Amino acid sequence: MKLRPRRPREVAQLLRRRARSAPREVEEYLDTHAEEWEAIVEADPHDAADILEELGEDAATDLLAELDPDDAADVLEEMQDDLAADILEEYDPETAADLLEEMPADEAADVIAALEPDAREGIFDAMEDPAEADVRRLLVYPPDSAGGLMTTEVAKLPVGMTAGEAIERVRQMNEELEDLSYVYIVDFQDRLVGVLSFRDLVFRRPGEGLDEAMIHNPVAVSPYADREEAAELTHRYHLFSIPVVDDQQRLLGMVTNEEVIEAIQMEATEDFAVATGAGAEETVFTSVGGSVRMRIPWLSLNLVMALLVAFVIEQQTGIISREPVLAALMPVIALLGGNAGFQSLAVVIRSLATDYVPRSQVLHVVGRQFSVGVLNGLILGILSGGLALALLDSGVFSSLSEPTEIAAVVTLAAFGNVAVAGLAGASIPLVLRKLGADPAQASSIFLTLITDLVGFGGFLLVAAVLL
């Protein structure tokens, strides 16, 4: 494999694309071109992390071992937490501890949280203070909370300083802190009393006190606040970061805008996962055993519900025996209802994810989605009935009853199932919220049960009455 002289970032992009089809070739190239590999890492650790994620765990472990600990830590920080944890488990505890000590405490905590318990404790034993204490302190908070997202590396200054003194102190912090968007002002007990953007600080008169220049009583969150709350406040007040304080208003850290964006993405993907019964924290790197444990409860519930649908169908086998064409048309009705229900479900869950459904508007929201279901059901009922009549008249489908009677059954069943699906799709997540459960939690499983029961059972019941 040969590459013409290019900039490190261009080389990285080429190698990442190539690694998707020929990972072994890219691994060998980087093994024999150590200088280019180091240049990629120094130019942008994120690009290097992307390449390693394409190459896999074994190759990533070997290539990281060729780097200095601080460079390897920068790359590890940009990788998926589960994969980074798998790589660390390949090293001895001392080496893994050295890498984690080079990372910011919040990033190290995320990786350590993904380790197996035995490996985690072994690495903790090898870590030195204060790095170990900082990471353990962060692991106390749930991963989806503000405390689990925050960084403890913040620019904070005492309230008694002047603007000129503060600017000089910030200059000294520049090499230690990555984010200087805001300077947080604390009192002698480390309680948050104000905030000042770096831009506003620079334009203040040197002799002006911080207590005069700062914004008093800034927006802040508890470390146990859900990540959705932190994201919502950041968006509402157009903040670059939001401070995290304890019950005594002492400043613990801050949630940066980057973490907020990742939190929103994680919340959206988590809602999608749990809506289908997958694990909320499951990723493609989750162990086989872990994935099975997360999925099997909902799949077992799905089995029970499927047997319930089978029981309903079994009770109507007489009408199917008299008119076999019904067996071919039943899935059509269930499919229409399922798709219509999923549309309402997606709209409501999306609105709930952005806290856009006040409790006072629940009945209005449900009524609107039911109205959409009724109108769609009317249209689809007529279309499906017309198509069924055409197929029966043309001889593609054969029946013992009059084609118009079969078409009427299809029309009424399709209308009813689509209408009920609209109602169910809107109601299920709202009912789960009322019960204090996650509105997205396996909503699709309950929706499928309803649309299948109404689709199959309702269709056969209508057929039994009309035929």
Task: Return d(Cα 27, Cα 185) in angstroms, integer.
Answer: 49
> What pLDDT was estimated at residue 356?
65
Binned average pLDDT, 10 residues per bin, the chain of 467 residues:
68 85 87 88 90 88 90 91 89 91 90 87 87 90 89 90 90 79 92 92 89 92 90 88 94 89 69 58 66 75 81 80 84 89 84 69 86 93 90 78 87 93 89 75 78 86 83
Give CA angle at 33 (27, 39), nearest 5°.
100
Assessment of whether the complete model's pTM goes beyond 0.85: no
The C-alpha angle with vertex 173 and arms to 169 and 178, in degrees rounded to 5, equals 145
pLDDT score of 412: 93
Residue 274, pLDDT score = 60
Give helix 93-101 / helix 69-78 axis angle, nearest 10°. Answer: 80
Query: In 290-315, which positions are buried (b, 16+ CB within 10 angstroms) versus exposed (e)?
Result: eeeebbeebeeebeebeeebeebbee
How would DSSP label each residue in 291-358? HHHHHHHHHHHHHHHHHHHHHHHHTTHHHHHH-THHHHHHHHHHHHHHHHHHHHHHHHHHHHHTT---
DSSP state of 151: B
Spell out the domains of the chain, with CATH numbers in brackets.
8-141 (1.25.60.10), 156-266 (3.10.580.10), 288-466 (1.10.357.20)
Q: What is the sign of the dihedral through the CA atoms of 319, 321, 322 and 324? A: positive
Residue 442 token pair: 């396996």
pLDDT at 176: 76
Closest by CA position to 385, among listed 466, 290, 309: 466
Q: Is the peptide bond before 130 cis (omega within 30 degrees of 0)?
A: yes
Q: With b meaning 16 or more CB within 10 Å and e meaning fewer, what string describes 138-151?
A: bbebebbbbbbbbb
- C-alpha 61/C-alpha 89 separation (Å) is 10
**What pLDDT does residue 112 have?**
92
Q: What is the pLDDT of residue 278?
A: 58
